[in-house]
């Protein structure tokens, strides 16, 4: 089926082509700090008041939270506490890892290395995670002109100085050894013939420290970690999301209830420690945004942790990736890696003019694109009414030599090629898309939380990135904190004495809802988004 561009879009592309030679030499000025703040306040979705509400119950009562998330946090449990038999334990282990992405796999490996018997449970297939889709790369300050201190400064500035310093320190100091660990497991990073890592800039970096594996960086890391978990014969339970954590009578986390998605059966895991590594929540489609996220990204981990009393941090801030595909409609919202800009492509408006420096931090870049379309009305409009701006990809081959795009961005070329758009010759249309949960469950540098025996790693954690994450620091975070949480949970498991299992926290939760006069109809965690169309009410047989 031929998609390609409409005549109106082609007319705009001619303008992009007409200005290209001139633009090759133009560097658009960066937005000064004061103006950045203003652009964010006026155009970034985090500041849209109608998209937020205050939480009425739980540890974050009174905190401003995206409505879709607040409704789930204040939802009802899948489990009726009185009816669930805690006397029959189906699985027992030292460390239960919830989530089969990069953080979960890293945690499982390190927990086992530290002597724990591990079970990893995941909602869909092992490896079905945002990790798999991360294209751009992973940051580490390992070049002579760089240092962990410079990396630290970039991370703090990118997060508008709201990040938790000790968490950032761990991130940047562990980074080089994590790259080494991944390589020792067999990850193929792009290198020069002498072994020097090929590295480029990302938005907000002051050094070229983005390591990559073509534009399959996350996939390369995920498939390697997954293979290693399988080789070490760690127990993996697929299609079995956790619907509730289980506590003991000493107030410690002591296990979880799994739901077999295919049979509908519940099972009980008793575990000395639990690591939540369940990822983000892009599939909640905050404020109606499309998302780059995996099908299972429904913020389940936040709900589980919140019900046992864990505090959440920075949950009012989401990352909108500046360049989601805006055309064709079939791939709306899917990720166009920041690496395209890192390699030299500019963002230009309907007139073919630059309007923003291409590598501002993601929040500022996104806000500037929204401003260009909404306020200045210089966006390109597609047949479905979707707005977008051009990402002038053909510039890359002109700047860096013919074939650069094909070699460095094979996934992107393939993605657009499937819809008859050749990004080596034509620009592609982009608009911000919901990409990442900046905040999450508050953690300490060893991945522990305020709740005994509960550990957290990866996108579901909060504090590392403050209010905005830089490109390449999520693949870094999942490995750094997956490893840290895995080790800490395994060591903790050696000294844990569990008491009687209980679901008293669910009864307590019901009481809190009642006291706040809430009678939620929503059952959470959500587990899967609802994209199914039904024309009449559905039979109970299904």
Partner 1 sequence: MAEKLISIYIMGKKYEVPSSLTIMKAMEWAGYKLIRGAGCRSGFCGACATVYRIKGDYRLRIALACQTVVEPEMYLAQIPFFPAEKAIYDIEGLEPTAEQLFQIYPEILRCLSCGTCTKACPQEIDVMDYMAEAMKGDIASVASKSFDCIMCGLCAARCPAEEAQYNVALLCRRLYGKYLAPKSQHLRERIEEIEAGKFDEELAQLKSMGEEQLRQRYEERDIELA
For residue 451, the minimal CB distance to partner 1 (Å) is: 26
User: Radius of gyration of the chain from Cα atoms?
Assistant: 23
Q: Choosing from 321, 469, 492, 505, which is the catalytic residue?
A: 321
321 catalytically annotated? yes
Binding mask of the shown chain, residues 84 to 123, with x at each position contacting partner 1 by CB under 8 A = ----------------------------------------
Binding mask of the shown chain, residues 318 to 357, with x at each position contacting partner 1 by CB under 8 A = -----------xxx--xx--------x-------------
Using rule CB under 8 A, residue 397 touches partner 1: no
For residue 200, the minimal CB distance to partner 1 (Å) is: 8
The residues, ordered by sequence, that sit 6+ positions from 407 with a Cβ below 8 Å of its Cβ are 214
- Distance separating alpha carbons of residues 345 and 340, to the nearest angstrom: 6
Residues 27-66 that bind partner 1 (CB under 8 A): 33
Using rule CB under 8 A, residue 402 touches partner 1: no
Residues 9-28 that bind partner 1 (CB under 8 A): none
Residues 255-274 that bind partner 1 (CB under 8 A): 261-262
Nearest to 321 by CA among 408, 463, 203, 458: 203
469 catalytically annotated? no
* Residues, the chain: 542
Using rule CB under 8 A, residue 429 touches partner 1: no
Nearer residue to partner 1 within complex by CB, 87 or 288 = 288
Using rule CB under 8 A, residue 194 touches partner 1: yes
Using alpha carbons only, give the angle 307, 311, 316 rounded to the nearest 5 degrees: 105
410-414 contacts: CB < 8 A, separation 24 or more? 410/214, 410/215, 410/216, 411/135, 411/214, 411/215, 411/216, 411/337, 412/135, 412/215, 412/336, 412/337, 412/340
Q: Choosing from 307, 341, 362, 492, which is the catalytic residue?
A: 341
**DSSP string of 327-357?**
SSGGGTT-B--THHHHTTPPEE-TTS-B-S-
For residue 513, the minimal CB distance to partner 1 (Å) is: 28
Residues 237-256 that bind partner 1 (CB under 8 A): 239
Using rule CB under 8 A, residue 216 touches partner 1: yes
- Distance separating alpha carbons of residues 314 and 278, to the nearest angstrom: 17
DSSP state of 196: P
Residues 287-306 that bind partner 1 (CB under 8 A): 292, 294-295
Nearer residue to partner 1 within complex by CB, 21 or 34 = 34
Strand partners, 258: 242, 267
- Distance separating alpha carbons of residues 337 and 324, to the nearest angstrom: 8
Instruction: Kindly tell me which residue out of 127, 281, 309, 466 binds partner 1, with binding defined by CB under 8 A.
Output: 127
Nearest to 394 by CA among 370, 419, 420, 425: 425
Nearer residue to partner 1 within complex by CB, 410 or 520 = 410
Residues that bind partner 1 (rule: CB under 8 A) add up to a total of 88
Residues 171-190 that bind partner 1 (CB under 8 A): 172-173, 176-177, 179-180, 183-189
Instruction: Kindly tell me which residue out of 46, 63, 94, 142 binds partner 1, with binding defined by CB under 8 A.
Output: 142
How would you class 233 by CB atoms within 10 Å of its CB: exposed for 0-12, middle for 13-18, buried for 19 or more? exposed
Using rule CB under 8 A, residue 141 touches partner 1: yes
Asked whether the beta carbons of 259 and 300 are under 8 A apart, the reply is no
Nearer residue to partner 1 within complex by CB, 270 or 487 = 487
Nearer residue to partner 1 within complex by CB, 149 or 518 = 149
Q: Which residues are catalytic?
A: 321, 341
């Amino acid at each position: 089926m031929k998609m390609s561009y409409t005549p109106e879009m082609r007319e705009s592309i001619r303008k992009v082509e007409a200005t290209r030679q001139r633009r090759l030499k133009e560097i658009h000025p960066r937005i000064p700090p004061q103006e950045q703040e203003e652009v964010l306040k006026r155009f970034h979705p985090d500041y849209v008041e109608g998209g937020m509400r205050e939480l009425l119950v739980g540890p974050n009562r009174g905190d401003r939270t995206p409505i879709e998330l607040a409704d789930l946090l204040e939802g009802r449990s899948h489990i009726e506490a009185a009816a669930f038999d805690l006397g029959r334990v189906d699985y027992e282990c030292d460390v239960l890892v919830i989530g089969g992405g990069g953080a979960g796999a890293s945690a499982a490996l390190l927990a086992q290395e530290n002597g724990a018997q591990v079970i990893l449970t995941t909602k869909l297939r092992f490896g079905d995670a945002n990790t798999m889709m991360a294209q751009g790369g992973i940051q580490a300050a390992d070049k002579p002109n760089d240092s962990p201190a410079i990396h630290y400064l970039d991370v703090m500035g990118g997060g508008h100085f709201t990040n938790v310093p000790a968490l950032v320190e761990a991130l940047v100091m562990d980074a080089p050894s994590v790259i080494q660990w991944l390589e020792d497991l067999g990850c193929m990073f792009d290198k020069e013939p002498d072994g020097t890592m090929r590295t480029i800039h990302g938005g907000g970096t002051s050094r070229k420290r983005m390591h990559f594996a073509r534009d399959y960086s996350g996939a390369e890391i995920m498939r390697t970690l997954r293979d290693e978990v399988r080789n070490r014969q760690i127990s993996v339970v697929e299609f079995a999301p956790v619907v509730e954590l289980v506590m003991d009578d000493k107030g410690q986390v002591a296990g979880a209830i799994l739901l077999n998605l295919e049979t509908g059966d519940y099972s009980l895991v008793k575990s000395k420690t639990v690591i939540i590594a369940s990822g983000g929540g892009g599939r909640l489609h905050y404020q109606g945004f499309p998302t780059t996220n995996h099908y299972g990204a429904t913020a389940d981990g936040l709900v589980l942790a919140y019900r046992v009393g864990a505090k959440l941090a920075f949950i009012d801030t989401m990352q909108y990736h500046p360049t989601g595909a805006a055309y064709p409609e079939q791939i709306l919202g899917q990720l166009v890696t920041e690496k395209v800009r890192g390699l030299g492509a500019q963002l230009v408006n309907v007139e073919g003019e630059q309007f923003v420096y291409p590598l501002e931090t993601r929040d500022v870049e996104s806000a500037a694109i929204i401003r260009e379309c909404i306020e200045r009305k210089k966006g390109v409009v597609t047949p479905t009414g979707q707005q977008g701006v051009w990402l002038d990809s053909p510039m890359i081959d002109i700047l860096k030599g013919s074939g650069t795009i094909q070699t460095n961005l094979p996934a992107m070329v393939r993605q657009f090629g499937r819809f008859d758009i050749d990004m080596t010759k034509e620009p592609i249309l982009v608009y911000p898309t919901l990409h990442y949960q900046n905040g999450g469950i508050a953690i300490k540098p060893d991945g522990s939380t305020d709740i005994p025996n509960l550990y957290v790693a990866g996108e579901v954690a909060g504090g590392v990135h403050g209010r905005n994450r830089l490109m390449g620091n999520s693949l870094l975070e999942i490995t750094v904190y997956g490893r840290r949480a895995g080790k800490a949970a395994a060591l903790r498991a050696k000294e844990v004495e569990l008491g009687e299992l209980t679901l008293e926290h669910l009864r307590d939760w019901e009481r809190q809802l009642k006291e706040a006069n809430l009678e939620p109809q929503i059952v959470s965690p959500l587990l899967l988004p609802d994209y199914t169309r039904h024309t009449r009410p559905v039979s109970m047989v299904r």
